[in-house]
Amino acid sequence: MTQPHDATSVLTLTPVIPVVTIDDAAHAVPLARVLLASGINTIEITLRTPQALEAIARVAREVPESLPGAGTVLTAADLAAAAAAGAAFAVSPGATPALLAAAKAGSLPFLPGVASASELMAAREAGFTAFKLFPAAQSGGVGFLKIDA
């Protein structure tokens, strides 16, 4: 699959992006194939386990029609490791100035996490236009996103 150039492109490729934590990298490829068969071509694999980068690498290598992304990206080093593993995009739960700068300088489409107006404003100032509301439920969910006109 052609690599997207920005986070907005990633978000338009599929109706949902499943977020998964993989403890055994051998499970990544079968999962990606099942998702593809169900019409979902993206998968966010969280960097919460020692197997995460290997899982991303396997999906990138063995399921080229899928777009494996790295989630729970916390540092510039995480971002670099995700890119080296073959991630097609990256998602963070928050957006520190250092992480935003690294993402801006990097090649991966990046979706910074925001939970407040100030975080959103800082990420917009850094040049980002698409975001992940995180943690969504604790931040107010859909009601938080509604705009009364």
Query: Could you give the C-alpha distances from 73 to 99, 131, 136, in angstroms and in order?
Result: 9, 14, 17
pTM: 0.88
Tell me which amino acid residue 75 is.
Answer: T
Contacts 24+ apart (CB under 8 A), 100-109: 100/126, 100/128, 101/76, 101/126, 102/75, 102/76, 103/79, 103/128, 106/79, 106/80, 107/83, 108/79, 108/82, 108/83, 109/4, 109/5, 109/6, 109/7, 109/9, 109/10
- pLDDT value, residue 132: 83
Residue of 54, 65, 132, 146 with catalytic role:
132
- pLDDT value, residue 147: 64
- pLDDT value, residue 59: 98
Dihedrals φ, ψ of 20, to 5°? -130, 150
Do residues 114 and 134 lie in contact, with contact meaning Cβ atoms separated by under 8 Å?
A: yes
- pLDDT value, residue 135: 67
Query: What structural domains and CATH numbers belong to the chain?
Result: 7-130 (3.20.20.70)
- pLDDT value, residue 10: 79
- pLDDT value, residue 137: 65
Quick check: is 44 catalytic? yes
Do residues 113 and 92 lie in contact, with contact meaning Cβ atoms separated by under 8 Å?
A: yes
- pLDDT value, residue 12: 77
Quick check: is 146 catalytic? no
pLDDT values of the chain reduced to their tens digit, one per residue, 149 residues: 556 667 877 777 887 899 999 999 999 999 999 999 999 999 999 999 999 999 999 999 999 999 999 999 999 999 999 999 999 999 999 989 999 999 999 889 999 999 888 888 899 999 998 888 776 667 677 776 666 65
Closest to 102 measured CA to CA, from 126, 69, 120, 122: 126
